[in-house]
Amino acid sequence: YGDNLDVLRESIADESVDLIYLDPPFNSNASYNVLFKGPKGNDSAAQIEAFDDTWHWGEESESAFADVLHSGNGAAAEMLRAMRSFLGENDMMAYLAMMAVRLLELHRVLKPAGSLYLHCDPTASHYLKILLDAVFGAKRFGAEIIWKRTSAHSDAGQGRRLLGYQHDVIFQYMKTEDYSWNTQYHAYDEEYVRKHYRHIEPETGRRFGSFDITAPGGGDPKKHNPHYEFLGVTRWWRFKKERMEELYGEGRIFQSKPGAVPRQKRYLDEMPGTPLQDIWNDIAPLSGQAKERLGYPTQKPVALLERILAASSNPGDVVLDPF
């Protein structure tokens, strides 16, 4: 084990990684167990070792800052210089210098179709997003994912006079506009099903919804919507007549009564669900008794990583977790 910066520079080739997920220390004055610093003294150091993520400005910070300034990435250099002017040489600035020099290397090793997901908390997320904008370009920002990592709790007994923290932030950035992406879905909530799939087909027992098939925009010439008579009703339709007849033959177009505007039947069991959004509240954090727990306090659930892998990688891809 060693400093991940050395490993990145010496052992990982340009554009060789398809997906990067990093969960670095958050600069939140907590003791984390991470594979980051080199071994200390004996064989037990090869295990996951405690690492205090309180950063302090010093020679290493100054060296990282200089590396960014001479990296050839003018935007990152100017951004880090501006941050130093604003923050001064404090703990937060030391943390950001450490992150900036590594983000530049991660950008280098990422393939053109690759994506990076940076997992952090609100302590430094606002600064990290600006750094990511500088390294990747603001147009390569994909999403700011909010992961609900804990249930509601109160710190009022300890004198806290602020809102409780419940979430982490995961930033998604892409190397280029031609990035790998597989849309993910999750099941409709019960209220949506009750509202939009409230019919039961008597002969099969299948639940279905009734959906409008008239064309948005009607006769707007820019829409090129087809106009014809179907089942005694003349409208501007979503489908060409040939397709409408196919759907009708399959039992997927119906009239509630003669003369009513036909509608489309969509079966709930054929629908993929709701496309994944940027608020993730359906993946629970690891409990102390979770079988997958390895013993370090900031371990993330496998389900969280599985979702990211499913969305932004494909079988056979190379995935890097530098921390």
185's CB contacts (< 8 A; 6+ apart) are 272, 273, 274, 275, 276
pTM of this structure:
0.82
Percent of residues, the chain, with pLDDT higher than 70: 88
Q: Which of 164, 167, 266, 163 is nearest to 209 (CA)?
A: 266
Average pLDDT over residues 100-115: 98
The angle subtended at Cα 213 by Cα 208 and Cα 218, nearest 5°, is 160
* CA distances from residue 173 to 185, 291, 314 in whole angstroms, order as listed: 20, 32, 17
Q: Lowest-confidence range among 4-8, 116-120, 297-301?
A: 297-301
Q: What domains sit in the chain, N to C, each tagged with a CATH number?
A: 4-184+276-320 (3.40.50.150), 189-270 (no CATH)
What is the separation of C-alpha 159 from the centre of its chain, rounded to a whole number of angstroms? Answer: 34
Instruction: Report the distance separating Cα 196 and Cα 207, nearest Å.
Output: 10
Token pair in block for residue 72: 């050839």
109's CB contacts (< 8 A; 6+ apart) are 8, 12, 13, 14, 15, 16, 17, 20, 320
Instruction: Report the distance separating Cα 107 and Cα 14, nearest Å.
Output: 9
Average pLDDT over residues 6-16: 96
